[in-house]
A and B are shown apart, each in its own frame.
Chain A
């Protein structure tokens, strides 16, 4: 009698646990109100809540200093949040950090291989650090080398690799433990377009063929637009907006007439007076003299706008029409351009210095 009660109690608990597990199973990453304050002054994250589904490619987009890297370093258990909670595959990144580390692959923005060793040796050392069983090591290394198209170069010193090859090798090291989620911090920063494409071909293949969840940071709009299933825009430590790229672009609405003019304020003034055109919004970029008019039909609006402005004495240097892009989404929600040329140069220099050893 007592034993039966005891047993049914356990079965009950087991079912609750199982339901809980399956409900967690679809969520790869979730955070609630994450805050990170560095040395009691710099607020890098200010209440970030996001959800990433399993099997999707998720992007965190934002300018320099938005908190992208901090968020990723918390999720990969390198840093502890000041407050708030973060779960990866259902495990708390603070209290269950050791479990999280068993299922994640991570590629930092800077550089994570030893350039004075060969590609194969880098993989060998990482496999041993990760604790890949000895009899599987060789097979696993050859597999990731083949997948990343590095088999032919595996015996060469990494110092002789191109930037794209190094990135692929770094992704290969992250794949050694057959992770469930791959975290990539600016995966293609400083790479030329061909190398960028190759890296992304490999990443999308991983996502499609193995169902690997990919979580990446980027400030390249086009890259996010092309490859991410869903994204979040981060600015000054806060989530600006979250959703699928198409959804976000639709939320900006309409089509865009972009004008480069000599007098931004006069243009805005005149455009705002044109009620009949179905103008939804006007964004400006003062530094470059750009005015973006968001309308229902750009082709019809353009001639009217040009005529009106010319009559008002505004000189139009350039005019173009476009459908909304993530740039427009960013402009609408943040009110600026993601411009990181300086930062990019810095990272490029760092990478080339590191490569020389």
Chain B
């Protein structure tokens, strides 16, 4: 019970912080909007990529949303590094909250930021003509997919943070991870046109499964094969939640 209360408190903390930092939220959606409004229409006009009949902008919408979600989540590790440098992490460790609740709580707080991104980008996609599936079941899956992806990548980043104990180093690593993750996935082109080696890398990239799942539920409206994607995401998230909790000691000492 105290476990859940603590996680909810961390989410509330984040919601309150966002309220005071609206500019940060806005600056973070600039890049995704550029992908949708500039890159999308230009590539669409070339008609170079086989997208199985999906309009190109609609095809890249899930990728753009999730790129933004993973970006926000991965930089969440930065918050942990920051709270380590200040005394907040030390103080949290002396409260009756279990350590895994701190790891999960701080990462599920990034879910809030992820949904902020989603809530801003999706209407913009709708405005420029992307049609999404208005089915409640699909929307429920959309919420689940974004949540798991966000928790997964933020626990991943907390795990990275346990090695990169300073902000500068973490910034470097964060930059070096996010763009390759995006390009080595099915975000802006289908996997099957990739060279074999990149195809293999993409299949090991959790983002690929998130995007595939979101494309199915948000754009296409099918639940076929969704289970594979979700299982892959759950495995990814569980592994890194455990790793982050175990390695958490490194961060404190």
Q: Tell me the A residues contacting B by CB distance below 8 Å.
A: 38-39, 73, 76-79, 98, 101-102, 104, 106-114, 116-117, 121, 125-126, 128-131, 157, 173, 183, 350, 354
Given A125-B12, A131-B96, A110 and B87 touching (CB < 8 A)? yes
Known contacts A111-B86, A112-B88; A78/B17 CB under 8 A: no
A98 touches B96 (CB 8 A): yes
Q: Which residues of B contact A101 (CB under 8 A)?
A: 94-96
B34 within 8 A of A: no
Q: How far is the CA of A122 from the CA of B186 in the complex (A)?
A: 42
Q: Please give, as numbers and ranges, the residues of chain A lying within 8 Å of B92 by CB-CB distance.
A: 129
Q: A106-B91, A108-B87 are in contact. Are A129 and B6 (CB under 8 A)?
A: yes
- Minimum C-beta distance from B97 to chain A (A): 6
Which chain A residues lie closer than 8 Å to B90 at the CB level?
Answer: 73, 78, 106, 108, 110, 112
Query: Min CB distance, A178 to chain B, in Å?
Result: 13
Measured between C-beta atoms, what is the minimum distance from A294 to chain B in Å?
40
| 20 A-B residue pairs with CB within 8 Å | A77-B93, A78-B90, A98-B96, A101-B94, A104-B94, A109-B87, A110-B85, A112-B88, A112-B91, A114-B17, A114-B88, A116-B17, A116-B20, A117-B13, A125-B13, A128-B9, A129-B95, A130-B95, A183-B94, A354-B85
Q: Smallest CB–CB gap between B165 and chain A, Å? A: 13
Contacting residues of chain B (1-51) with chain A, CB-CB under 8 angstroms = 2, 5-6, 8-10, 12-13, 16-17, 20-21
Known pairs A78-B252, A128-B8, A131-B2; A157 contacts B94 (CB<8 A): no
Q: How far is the CA of A354 from the CA of B84 in the complex (A)?
A: 12
Q: Are the C-beta atoms of A77 and B94 separated by less than 8 Å? A: yes
B87, A112: Cβ atoms closer than 8 Å: yes
Contact, CB under 8 Å: B9 / A125? yes
Q: How far is the CA of A116 from the CA of B252 in the complex (A)?
A: 23
The distance from the CB of B102 to the nearest CB of chain A, in whole angstroms, is: 9
Kindly state the separation between the CA atoms of A128 and B20 in the bound complex, as whole angstroms: 20
Question: B253 an interface residue at 8 Å Cβ cutoff?
Answer: yes
| Given A39-B253, A128-B5, A128-B12, 6 additional A-B pairs, CB 8 A | A79-B253, A102-B96, A117-B16, A128-B6, A129-B92, A131-B5
Task: Take A77-B94, A78-B94, A101-B94 as given contacts and tell me if A117 and B17 are in contact as well, using a CB distance cutoff of 8 Å.
Answer: yes
Q: In the assembled complex, how far is the CB of residue B106 from the closest CB belonging to chain A, in whole angstroms?
A: 11
- Contacts of A102 on B, CB cut-off 8 Å? 96
B91 contact from A108, A121, A157, Cβ within 8 A: A108
A125 to B9, CA, bound (A): 6
Q: Which residues of B line the A interface, CB within 8 A? A: 2, 5-6, 8-10, 12-13, 16-17, 20-21, 85-88, 90-97, 252-253
B97 engages A129 (CB within 8 Å): yes
With the chains together, A227 CA to B94 CA distance in Å?
25
Give CA–CA (A177, B124) in the complex, Å.
46
Residue of B with least CB distance to A355: B86
Which of B2, B86, B93 interacts with A110 by CB under 8 Å?
A: B86
Chain A residue nearest to B17 (CB atoms) is: A116
A126 vs B96: C-alpha distance when bound (angstroms) = 11
B20 touching A157, Cβ below 8 Å: yes
Q: What B residues does A117 contact at CB under 8 A?
A: 13, 16-17, 20
Q: Is the Cβ of A129 less than 8 Å from the Cβ of B9?
A: yes
Give the complex CA separation of A108 and B92 in angstroms.
Answer: 10
Q: Shortest distance in angstroms between A76's beta carbon and chain B's nearest beta carbon?
A: 4
Least CB distance from B232 to A in Å reads 33
A130 touches B96 (CB 8 A): yes
A-B CB proximity, top 5 nearest: A108-B87, A128-B9, A110-B87, A112-B91, A111-B86
A112 to B87, CA, bound (A): 5
Measured between beta carbons, the chain B residues less than 8 angstroms from A73 are: 90
| A26, B96: Cα distance in complex, Å | 23
In the complex, A102 Cα to B94 Cα: how many Å?
Answer: 9
In the bound assembly, the distance between CA atoms of A110 and B8 in angstroms comes to: 26
Query: Which A residues touch B21, using CB under 8 A?
Result: 116
A92 to chain B, nearest CB (A): 16
Q: How far is the CA of A78 from the CA of B16 in the complex (A)?
A: 28
A78→B93 contact, CB < 8 A: yes
Write the chain A residue with the least CB distance to B86: A111
Q: Which residues of chain A have C-beta atoms less than 8 A from B253's C-beta? A: 38-39, 79
- Inside 8 A of B16's CB, which chain A residues have their CB? 117, 121, 125
A125 to B88, CA, bound (A): 12
* Cβ–Cβ < 8 Å partners of B86 in chain A: 110-112, 354
> B93: which A residues are within 8 A, CB to CB?
76-78
Residue in A109, A111, A157 whose beta carbon sits within 8 Å of that of B88 in the complex? A111
A279 to chain B, nearest CB (A): 47
Interface centre among A79, A157, A173 (most CB of B within 10 A): A79
Contact B252 A79 (CB under 8 A): yes
Closest chain B CB from A211 CB (angstroms): 21
Contacts of B88 in A (CB 8 A): 111-114
When distances are taken between beta carbons in the complex, the residues of chain B under 8 Å from A98 are 96
With A and B bound together, what is the CA distance between A98 and B97 in angstroms? 8
A318 smallest CB distance to B (angstroms):
41
A188 CB to closest chain B CB, in angstroms?
15
For B6, the closest partner residue in chain A by CB is A129
Question: Complex formed: what's the CA distance from A213 to B93 in Å?
Answer: 20
Q: Which residues of A contact B9 (CB under 8 A)?
A: 125, 128-129
